[in-house]
Structure 1
Amino acid sequence: MAASCSLVCCEEENDSDQAVIVRFSNGSVKNADNLDFRMYKHADEVNPRKKIKRIMAAESDRLAYVGNNFSEGSLKCNNLCKYYVGVLNRQTMKMQVHVAQLFNMQPVIPGEATEEPKLQDATRTYGEKVDSLIEAFGTNKQKKALSSRRLNQVGSDTLHKAVAKAANTVITQKGLEALQQEVAETEAQEDLALHLPPCNAAADSPENVYLFDDILSPVEFEALEEAGSKMAALTSEEMQKMREAGGSLCVLKHLENMATVGEARDKVSRCTFYLSMLLKLVRQKNVTRKFGQEEGCPRIVQAQLLRTFTVESFKSGRVQNIVSSSMRAKIAAYCLALLLHMSHMTADLTLLHRDLGITEARIIEMAKSMGLTLSKPARGKDKNDGLQDSNRQASLVLPLVKYKAFSERQKRKKMH
């Protein structure tokens, strides 16, 4: 009767306790005692992906064999299955079960390189492989098309290099900031609608087309009470000094024509102070956090001006507020909308373009984009003041005027 055996559960195994099963790809070994087996493991034991890498080497008098568990030649079954080997102790008739690893041993012939072509094929793209097939087995038409495509590719690469070289030369000569400024100015000229205040073209009254609260919120309007009272308290002598010092013409005009008492005077005084801050901001390039402190600008209004009409940029480790060309166009649009509410939906474009430092054509283009009605009184004798004021005016009249976009048509030669 055959003797029975029992299974013994092993404790947690180390690498030295695990069994190894090898398989030779080119045949079977008759005498395994003549082979010298050695196992190598990866030195990086911290990386979980590398610490399981093992290499098994076997040497005989004739050949050397190598197998591993991490390359393309390794057995895929190691990832799908778990193998165990039972070792029977014939004296105690107890069998210990150990975890086993499988290695596929392949012969290594000195001087023969078999991995380099595989690596080259692995790095080649699908298109390159197709091109190599066309070169070897393609028709004459396919070979001509391939040659033409490669010539065009070489020409395109040469063109890209020339363009990159020319761009680097322009950047070196003019400077990156100057180029960015030119791009910003071009974008500002192309689309003014992005910088206009919110518009309600279907409003029932002119005052609701460009809402006053969208230009100056109630909280900010309330914060301008002290600053507005100082503007209203200016004397005629102080206004004359402002005019001689090159002060804003629009601000001076509204201060001189301000109502004597009432709610209208209070509103105009606050709006003139806010308008003076806008006109001062449009002349700036880099705005500091001290902007408006000398004039007594409230902090909440100062934060609103920096947030709405400046662009943040990072330079020399600091955040700077810059008034770009697009922001200048936005300031001009908001000034024009504010003047409409200050003068019964009428604004003086001639004075505004002088205060903003832009051309009259530019401010007229902006007024057209806002749908305003343009008018310029004819020169003539006024009964009271002599020469009649000939400044160009813009009024908000419903319905808004839709101007046709003017586009220059360049003559082009037709290619036949």
Structure 2
Amino acid sequence: MAASCSLVCCGEERDSDKAVVVRFSNGFVNNADKLDVSMYRNSDGNNPKKKSRQILVAESDRLCYVGQNFGGASLKCNNLCKYYVGVLNRQTMQMEVHSAQLFNMQPILPGEASEMAKAQDTTQSYRDKVDSLIEAFGTNKQKRALASRRLNQVGSDALHQAVAKAASTVIDSKGLEALQQEVVETESQAALVSHLPPCNVNADNRENVYPFDELLSPEEFAALAQAGSKMAALTPEELKKMKDEGSYQCVVKHLENMASVGEARDKTSRCAFYLSMLLKLARQKNVSRKFGQEDGCPHIIQNKLLRTFTVETFNNGRVQNMVSTSMRAKLAAYSLALLLHMGYMTADLTLLHRDLGITEARMIEVAKSMGLTFSKPARAKSDKVELHDEHRQASVVLPLVKYDQFIERRKRKKMH
């Protein structure tokens, strides 16, 4: 009858203390006792990724075998399974169970290790490796296709070099800043044309060139009744306070000069409120869905502003409304068209560009794209000149003016 034995678990062991099970890739070792086996561990014990790295070296009279538990040559089964080795103590008849890890031992031939390392260090793409195989073992058809593709690649490289040389010549002749300025101005002109209000060039009278219904539909104009009445009820003291604060000067100017009673007063007050919303929106960057609620803006007007003068962007998975540069140009064009209807087809560009927060040159570009005529009151002979005498006016004059695109180019100074 066979003697019974008991199992003894040695508990949790570290990776460095695990038993080692080796497997030789090129066959079996007949005399394992004659192998000189050495274990090398990584000296960086603080790094959790490196402290478990081990290299096992087994040397014989003829070959040297190397195995490691990291890198491409290691066995992936160590990460997928747990291996255990039982060691039987014949005196106590107890079998100790130890955790183990497997090593794949590969022979290292003298003189070829450095050449293999050099071959692995070369940075060749997959295409280059395939081309090398075609050159060595490919058929005649594959070799002809490879030669044709390389000739086409040479022609493409020559074309890219010619284009780069031509581009550098243009940059040297005109200058990089001048080219960048031309691109910016061309893009700005295209943006202005695409964001102008609807225009009827063949209109019989000036009021129909930029139709009022295209700026405010009858439903939207009717929704502004309550908000317009609040604007009409502003006292002279409140208007003076707004004027002193420097906000919405265009709105204050028309509220001060609007008719006392009648339909004209009602229209001016409603347009003044809508214009104040346009001016406020022009100074925003990110617009919330609650824009205009604190000012008593009707819901239909609020939706119109967000839909017409903002763009939707995604930020952290949320949709946001943003006023882009092109949308600021669109706001300037629509505000100018509204001011023309409020001022008998004449608008003050100086006040408008200040309220919009844009430059005067940008405002003039918008007015030119709309075909307006410019005028500036003559300066008085006296030394004291009022502020409004310096303001530039824009008017609708039939037929509309077609301005030639003019790009100012600064002359480059010659180096002596």
1:188 aligns with 2:191: yes
Match of 1:84 in 2: 84
Choose which of 392, 401, 405 in structure 1 pairs with 2:397: 392
Measure, in 2, the Cα distance between the counterparts of 1:336 and 1:189.
14
1:75 aligns with 2:75: yes
Match of 2:116 in 1: 114
Measure, in 2, the Cα distance between the counterparts of 1:361 and 1:81.
77
- Please tell me the residue identity of whatever aligns with 2:98: H
Contact 1:229 1:269 in 2 (8 A): no
Measure, in 2, the Cα distance between the counterparts of 1:71 and 1:325.
54
Distance change (3 Å), C-alpha of 1:17 and 1:46? closer
Measure, in 2, the Cα distance between the counterparts of 1:36 and 1:189.
83
Contact 2:75 2:102 in 1 (8 A): yes
Match of 1:148 in 2: 151
CA positional deviation for 1:269:
5.3
1:158 aligns with 2:165: no
Measure, in 1, the Cα distance between the counterparts of 2:187 and 2:170.
18
Measure, in 2, the Cα distance between the counterparts of 1:167 and 1:219.
60
Contact 1:229 1:266 in 2 (8 A): no
User: What secondary structure does 2:370 align onto?
Assistant: helix
Alignment of 1:2-401 (within 5 A): 2-45=2-45, 48-112=48-112, 113-118=115-120, 120=122, 123-125=124-126, 127-136=127-136, 137=138, 138-139=140-141, 141-159=144-162, 161-162=164-165, 165=168, 172-174=176-178, 178=181, 181-182=184-185, 184-192=187-195, 207=213, 210-211=216-217, 224=231, 229=236, 258-261=258-261, 264-265=264-265, 268=268, 271=271, 324=325, 327-337=328-338, 339-340=340-341, 342=342, 348=345, 351=347, 356-358=363-365, 362-364=369-371, 392=397
Moved more, 42-51 or 222-231: 222-231
Q: Deviations over 1:329-379 (max 9, x none)?
A: 431223314544x47xxx62x6578975348762149xxxxxxxxxxxxxx
Distance change (3 Å), C-alpha of 1:143 and 1:34? closer
Q: Deviations over 1:68-87 (max 9, x none)?
A: 12233223433343321100
Count of residue pairs brought into register by the alignment: 316
Distance change (3 Å), C-alpha of 1:68 and 1:391? closer
Contact 1:20 1:102 in 2 (8 A): yes
Moved more, 149-158 or 166-175: 166-175
Distance change (3 Å), C-alpha of 1:58 and 1:228? farther
Measure, in 1, the Cα distance between the counterparts of 2:266 and 2:71.
83
CA positional deviation for 1:89:
0.5
Distance change (3 Å), C-alpha of 1:131 and 1:219? farther
Contact 2:228 2:272 in 1 (8 A): no
Q: Deviations over 1:5-58 (max 9, x none)?
A: 121122111235311011233443344344332223344556554444321122
Structure 1, gaps ≥5 residues long: 198-204, 234-246, 290-298, 312-320, 366-389, 395-416
Measure, in 2, the Cα distance between the counterparts of 1:131 and 1:228.
85
Contact 1:275 1:335 in 2 (8 A): no
CA positional deviation for 1:228:
7.4
Moved more, 15-24 or 56-65: 56-65
User: What secondary structure does 2:106 align onto?
Assistant: strand
CA positional deviation for 1:219:
9.1
User: What secondary structure does 1:128 align onto?
Assistant: helix
Contact 2:231 2:269 in 1 (8 A): no
Q: Deviations over 1:239-266 (max 9, x none)?
A: xxxxxxxx98x9978965x322367536
Distance change (3 Å), C-alpha of 1:28 and 1:328? closer
CA positional deviation for 1:168:
7.4
CA positional deviation for 1:167:
8.7
CA positional deviation for 1:267:
5.4
Contact 1:56 1:66 in 2 (8 A): yes
Measure, in 1, the Cα distance between the counterparts of 2:45 and 2:397.
82
Distance change (3 Å), C-alpha of 1:96 and 1:179? farther
- Please tell me the residue identity of whatever aligns with 1:210: L
Contact 1:227 1:273 in 2 (8 A): no
Moved more, 270-279 or 54-63: 270-279
Contact 1:131 1:146 in 2 (8 A): no
Contact 2:68 2:104 in 1 (8 A): yes
Aligned-residue CA RMSD (Å): 5.3
TM-score when scaled to structure 2? 0.56
Contact 1:19 1:101 in 2 (8 A): yes
Contact 2:55 2:69 in 1 (8 A): yes
TM-score when scaled to structure 1? 0.56
User: What secondary structure does 1:114 align onto?
Assistant: helix
CA positional deviation for 1:92:
0.6
Measure, in 2, the Cα distance between the counterparts of 1:363 and 1:101.
81
Contact 1:255 1:272 in 2 (8 A): no
Measure, in 1, the Cα distance between the counterparts of 2:152 and 2:213.
64
Match of 2:404 in 1: none
CA positional deviation for 1:162:
4.0
